[in-house]
Structure formats: C-alpha cells, structure tokens
Amino acid sequence: MSEAVKLTCAACGQMNRVPVAKLAEGPKCGVCGAALADGRVHELDAAAHDKALRGDDLPILVDYWAPWCGPCRMMAPEFAKAAKALAPRVRLAKLNTQDFPDIAGRARIQGIPALVLYHRGREIARLAGARPAADIVAFVQQKLGAKAA
C-alpha cells in the first residue's frame, strides 16, 4: 500500500487520506467533492484553520489578511501564483482576520499581510508584508528544503 497524507478539506472541514502518488492528480474531498491540492488558494474558516494546522501532513502557508488592507489585495494574485508553483507539495490558504480576530490573536498576527508556514501542527516560519510570487516560493522552499520540491 502506498504512503498517504492527511488533508483537511477547506470547504467542509472533513479530514481526507490521499495517497502521495495521487497528489498531482487533483484529489477531491470524499465528502463534498471539493479540490484538496489543486494549486489554488483556499479560504479557511476558524474550524478548518485549526483542523488543517493540527492534522494536515502537508505544509500549509496561511496568508492572514483583511479586505480593507490594500497591500493584502495587491498581493492576492501573487499568492495565487505561488500556490500554483508550490502545488501539490505545499498548500496555500487565506484567513480573513476581520472575520476571525480570535484566530489572528492566537496566531500572534500583529500586522497584515502576514504569511505563516505550518507543518504538522508547528509553526515553521513567518514572513511579513506583501511579496511577489517568486519571493513567497523562495521563502517556502528555503524553510522546507527538499520537502517543497
């Protein structure tokens, strides 16, 4: 049997087991059918955020942002480009700090946009400020080494 990874569905919060060999094929949630590792940025709610950070086997880079933040909105297309470049080995997600201020407080977010890289329940690194896609990809690859390849 092939090695599998656990991934939380951003849409319904269901934990899924996905064979590593199938990650590049666009796996979907077994409950709701939403894409799990498709190279797109997924918006998280509080429950999906906490579950993904605790339980996912793949690294996840979370962009803590707010709709009123100009630099956050400017960086959104670059973050999406980085998501495509890092898929399927790293997932990228966003959390709206205006809607979930308690999560932002727990994550010690002091300014936005803030990018925080997590792996298996632990914070690996953080990066402050709006960045181009190339910088985001380089940051993740540097912090994860061969895991992000």
Tell me the C-alpha to C-alpha distance, in Å, between residue 76 and each of 7, 49, 71, 83: 23, 18, 9, 11
Q: Which residues are catalytic?
A: 69, 72
pTM beyond 0.85, yes or no: yes
> Domains in the chain, please, with CATH?
38-148 (3.40.30.10)
Res. 2 pLDDT band, cuts 50 70 90 = low
pLDDT on residue 149: 41
Give pLDDT, residue 37.
87
Confidence band for 11, pLDDT divided at 50, 70 and 90:
confident
